[in-house]
Amino acid sequence: MKIRKMIAVLLFVGLAACARPASDVFRDPNMDFGAIQTILVMPFANQTREQTAADRVRDVFINRLLAAGAVYVPPVGEVKRGIMRAGIVDATTPSAEEVKSIAGIVKADAVITGAVKEYGDVRSGAAISTVIALSMQLVETQTGKVVWAASSTKGGISFTDRLFGGGGEPMNVVTEKAVDDILDKLFK
C-alpha cells in the first residue's frame, strides 16, 4: 500500500514538473498580427558568459523566422545601417521612439528585441548538459508598444542525466528547440 502511495506522489510531482507555465506568453488581444509583413530583428542582449551567444541565437532565430515564410526579415547589415542612421545607442533595448525611427528607415511593421539569459554548459555533480534561456518581445512600430512577449528555456540536466551521467544534447540542437518554441508562441 505504501508503494502505491509513493508511486502516486512521484507521478503527481512528475506531471506537475512537466506542466507549462501559464505566464510565458503575452499577446495583445487588440493587435492584428496578420497585418505584419516585415519584422526587423534587433541585436539580442547577452546576459551570459559566452561572448558570442547573442549573435549565435540571433542568427538561428532569423533563419528560422525566414524559413517560416510568414514575414520578410531585413538582412543584418541593413539593420546595422538603420541603427547607425537612427542614432540608437543601445540597440538591444531601444526606446519606443527609437523603434519608430528605425522602422521608418528600414521600413518594418514590427521590431523584435530579445535577451539570451543562459547559454552553455550546466553541471550538477557528475552530470553535465547544455541549457539555453531566451526572452523576446515584438514591438509594433507605429506606436512603439510591446504587443507580444515570450520566453523559453530548453536543455538542462534531466533525471536520467543525474542517474546515469551524460552530456545532454548539442548546443545547436538545444538552441534550435528554444527558437522553435518561441516561434510557435509567436505564430499561434
| Per-residue burial over 133-168, b = 16 or more CB atoms within 10 Å of its CB, e = otherwise | bbbbbbbbbeebebbbbbbbbbbbbeeebeeeeeeb
Instruction: Tell me the CA distances in angstroms from 160 to 17, 36, 71, 97, 133, one per residue in order.
Output: 15, 43, 40, 49, 21
As a whole-number percent, the residues of the chain with pLDDT over 70 amount to 86
pLDDT in tens, 14-70: 444 454 445 689 999 999 999 999 999 999 999 999 999 999 999 999 999 999 999
Rounded to whole angstroms, the Cα distance separating 82 from 76 reads: 10
Question: pTM for the complete prediction?
Answer: 0.84
**Whose CA is closest to 108, among 136, 86, 134?**
86
Domain ranges of the chain: 34-187
Instruction: Looking at the structure, give the CATH architecture of the domain made up of residues 34-187.
Output: 3-Layer(aba) Sandwich (3.40)
Q: Give the number of other Cβ atoms within 10 Å of residue 36's Cβ.
A: 20
Task: Give the DSSP H/E element, type plus range, for residue 182.
Answer: helix 171-187
pLDDT in tens, 65-100: 999 999 999 999 999 999 999 999 999 999 999 999
Rounded to whole angstroms, the Cα distance separating 164 from 101 reads: 53
> Can you give the pLDDT at residue 13?
44
